Chain A
Amino acid sequence: MEREVVEAELVLPTHLNFKKLQMYEKYPKGQSRGRHWKHLKQIIQAENFQNYPPDEPNYVNIESPPSMHPPKRICDITGYEAPYYDPRTNMRYANAEVFKLIRSLPNDYVQRYLALRNAAVVLK
């Protein structure tokens, strides 16, 4: 290992004196071998939150419901308020200059702009 790397103590040492159980004892075959963890979705599923009383707060039921407010119309390119909407590309735009720009955009860019506000066409 290079001297400057050692000096910067960049690399975490494999043996640490204060640990009761070292990493290499815990995972003798190496850390990447096999998956020792569950995704958050799996954790939630295993927890069976639907069986919990609904008036008790838990991770699932504190999540806010989707907003019921009408969304603000914001120009997709400039971020200004957008009074107009282009029916061909479905993009919102603020003024004529932006409209020109929108019409000159290739389709994949249009889709990427729309994806930013979850309005893109998703093929399944």
Chain B
Amino acid sequence: MPFISQIERQTDYSLFAPTRPIVIDNGGSYFRIGWAGESDPRVIFRNIVQRPRHKSTGETVSVVGDHNTALLKYFDCTRSGPRSAFDNNVVFQFEIMEYILDFGFDRLGVDSLGVDHPVLITECPCNPVPSRCRMAELLFESYGVPSVAFGVDAAFSYTYNQRLGNCDKEGLAVCSGFNTSHVIPMPERNLPFVLFVEGEPVFEACCRTNVGGYHVTDYMKQLLSLKYPQHMAKLTWEKVEDLKMEHCYIAQDYAAEVKLYQNETKEAEEKTRCWQLPFTPPPVEEQPSVEEIARKAAIKERQGQRLREMAEAKRASRINELENELRGLEFLLRQVEKVDENDIPAFLSDTGYVSKQEIESSIAKVNQSLRKAKREQVELDEKADVTTADKFPLVDVPDNMLTSEQVVVFRWCYMVVMNHEWKELKEKKKQIFLKTTAEGRQRARQKRAEEELLREKQNQLEEERRLENPELYLDQLRTKYKELSEKVDQKKRLKTNGNNSNGNNTSGGVGRGERMSAAKKERMRLLTTAAFDRGKGEDTFGARDEDWQLYKLMSKDNDDEDEGPDEDETELTRISSRLQAS
């Protein structure tokens, strides 16, 4: 059963005699205020204060207790959550306490200057003296209360139940509070028929455990949020508190009760509650009507058409402009041809051109850009052509039956026909390109054939010589082979091994010098000098142009190692093959 606060303002305050005490049950979770002698409190609310900021005016206001949460939409509650004056059942924040007392007295209907009734207020057992002091101070100074009595709620409850005959003179009061629980033994000797007792229960034997309803709710909240992490935001503390109040119960024997659920008995099924979080369906977006869709499509179409027209107009104007320029230039050229050679500079002085050649080059330029502009159009037309061929066989459809879009496409087709000649021009260009490449290929083939012929001739010549005098021929070949092989060897040595020219490096130890070629070595030397030679004396690097050659030497591309087999080597292989053959 969720708790419902009563905060209606009472109107019968003035009917009570000034001797009638006001009773306040100042509990950790609920604040109850009423009149002595009545069975129920008049005003009940949650013992919390919120200090949100009003959204439109920006002032900080105090809101005490529970209110209609719908009204809190006018306030910015992000910076202050609900606050309690209590810390483990002891009041410690007296400003909050004052707001709560303000609200309580206000709702009780106090309208005189000062609260002129004695006040009984509850506190926890063995309340620390400073807390009690400040509470008394607050009541006396701010509210002008004539007298204050403090009491322990559990003792009052016990006395009340004793009067009703629910319990004996001797007993044990177990007070399970919001933050703490107390066990207070009630011995026989005391408890006279007066409400205002203090210290009558045996506080020497009293016991406090810092576990209360708050912890139960918190535990349940944690369990729920662990089990349903997706609903973490919706499981607020208040919601869980309501859940606990509505659905939870205390088992007489936990182990036996749990067994019921574990064995899935019928009793457990009856006790199981299903509960749904408040569900707010997401706002359904209204489907736009058919007219709306049509209207939007029409607008889009119109915009697209306008853009196309604009682009077309722009292109046309550019072509027009270029053609005009071309005409002007040609005219100028003709004029210039008529004029005498010596008078040309004078004639051209106010046209901005200096010579005939310049005019010609600008004509060429204009021609080029004109071609470009026109080609763009051609390409576009081609595209349009493709689409028309694919999608719109419309040529047979009469004009008045076409929609606007189709009309546009139709016009494109029309333009394609008009621009056919440009397409021809393009075709010609393509053919020229093809022709030149074919010619190039032809030339290369011819050259190769000639080389082949030359080699054949050489071979024939050698063959003849061999047949004439085989001995001499072989000798010649051998000497040639020796020469060539020596040459190639030397080259190799130079490449792999800079200064080691004697070639008897057979030790196998390959040092740094052996690994690097002369060019590489030179490069390393240059690099090291460049790295360490800076700042010595005056820096005159770059004064002469030759200085910059340094970088060319330094760069890696300078190495010409991977050049492929050179002429000597090919000759050598040829000769060796011949030697073997003969």
Whether A116 contacts B102 in the complex (CB less than 8 A), given A57-B204, A62-B126, comes out as: no
0 or 1 for each of A36-77: is its CB under 8 Å from B? (1 = yes): 111110011011000000011111001110000000100000
Instruction: Indicate if the CB atoms of A80 and B261 lie closer than 8 Å.
Output: yes
Instruction: Indicate if the CB atoms of B113 and A17 lie closer than 8 Å.
Output: yes
**Interface core residue of A17, A23, A64, A109 (most chain B CB under 10 Å):** A64
A47 contacts across to B, CB distance below 8 A:
128-130
B494 on the A face (CB < 8 A) = no
Tell me, in angstroms, the Cα distance from A92 to B114 when the chains sit together. Answer: 60
B110 contacts across to A, CB distance below 8 A:
18
Instruction: Indicate if the CB atoms of A55 and B204 lie closer than 8 Å.
Output: yes
Tell me, in angstroms, the Cα distance from A19 to B71 when the chains sit together. Answer: 27
A123 on the B face (CB < 8 A) = no
B433 to chain A, nearest CB (A): 67
Whether A8 contacts B67 in the complex (CB less than 8 A), given A18-B114, A37-B92, A59-B126, comes out as: yes
Residues of A1-53 whose CB lies within 8 A of B: 1-2, 4-5, 8-13, 16-21, 23, 26-27, 31-32, 36-40, 43-44, 46-47
Instruction: Indicate if the CB atoms of B127 and A37 lie closer than 8 Å.
Output: no
Instruction: Indicate if the CB atoms of A80 and B130 lie closer than 8 Å.
Output: no
- Cross-interface CB contact of A17 among B54, B111, B129, B209, cutoff 8 Å: B111
0 or 1 for each of B121-152: is its CB under 8 Å from A? (1 = yes): 00001111111000000000111100000000
Whether A18 contacts B115 in the complex (CB less than 8 A), given A23-B102, A38-B92, A112-B222, comes out as: yes
Instruction: Indicate if the CB atoms of A62 and B112 lie closer than 8 Å.
Output: no
**Interface core residue of A1, A18, A26, A43 (most chain B CB under 10 Å):** A18
B170 on the A face (CB < 8 A) = no
A102 contacts across to B, CB distance below 8 A:
none
Pick from B93-101, B479-487, B538-546, B569-577 the stretch touching chain A. Answer: B93-101
A113 on the B face (CB < 8 A) = yes
B374 to chain A, nearest CB (A): 68
A81 on the B face (CB < 8 A) = yes
Pick from B58-66, B353-361, B379-387, B462-470 the stretch touching chain A. Answer: B58-66
A40 contacts across to B, CB distance below 8 A:
87-88, 90, 92, 128
Instruction: Indicate if the CB atoms of A43 and B111 lie closer than 8 Å.
Output: no
B258 contacts across to A, CB distance below 8 A:
79-81
The main secondary structure of chain A at its interface with chain B is loop
Instruction: Indicate if the CB atoms of A18 and B105 lie closer than 8 Å.
Output: yes
B226 on the A face (CB < 8 A) = yes
Instruction: Indicate if the CB atoms of A2 and B203 lie closer than 8 Å.
Output: no
Whether A18 contacts B54 in the complex (CB less than 8 A), given A8-B67, A57-B126, A62-B206, comes out as: no
A94 on the B face (CB < 8 A) = yes
Whether A62 contacts B208 in the complex (CB less than 8 A), given A19-B142, A43-B128, A112-B222, comes out as: yes
0 or 1 for each of B447-476: is its CB under 8 Å from A? (1 = yes): 000000000000000000000000000000
- Cross-interface CB contact of A46 among B74, B112, B130, cutoff 8 Å: B130
B63 contacts across to A, CB distance below 8 A:
10-12
Tell me, in angstroms, the Cα distance from A51 to B60 when the chains sit together. Answer: 44
A13 contacts across to B, CB distance below 8 A:
106
**Interface core residue of B88, B94, B102 (most chain A CB under 10 Å):** B102
B87 contacts across to A, CB distance below 8 A:
39-40
Instruction: Indicate if the CB atoms of B226 and A113 lie closer than 8 Å.
Output: yes
Tell me, in angstroms, the Cα distance from A17 to B114 when the chains sit together. Answer: 8
B287 on the A face (CB < 8 A) = no
A16 contacts across to B, CB distance below 8 A:
102, 105-106
Instruction: Indicate if the CB atoms of A36 and B206 lie closer than 8 Å.
Output: no
B296 to chain A, nearest CB (A): 39
B582 contacts across to A, CB distance below 8 A:
none
Q: Please name 21 pairs of A and B residues whose Cβ atoms are closer than 8 Å in the assembled complex, sorted by A.
A: A2-B74, A5-B74, A10-B63, A11-B63, A12-B103, A16-B106, A17-B113, A18-B110, A19-B143, A26-B98, A38-B130, A40-B90, A43-B128, A43-B131, A57-B126, A57-B206, A59-B127, A62-B208, A63-B207, A63-B208, A109-B226
Q: What residues of chain B have their CB less than 8 Å away from a CB belonging to chain A?
A: 9, 51, 54, 57, 60-64, 67-68, 71, 74, 87-88, 90, 92-95, 98-99, 102-103, 105-106, 110-115, 125-131, 141-144, 203-204, 206-210, 219, 222-223, 226, 254-255, 258-259, 261-262
Given contacts A18-B110, A63-B208, A81-B262, 8 further A-B contacts (CB under 8 A): A5-B74, A23-B102, A27-B95, A37-B93, A46-B130, A64-B208, A81-B255, A112-B226
**4 shortest interchain CB distances as A-B pairs:** A40-B87, A57-B203, A12-B62, A20-B144
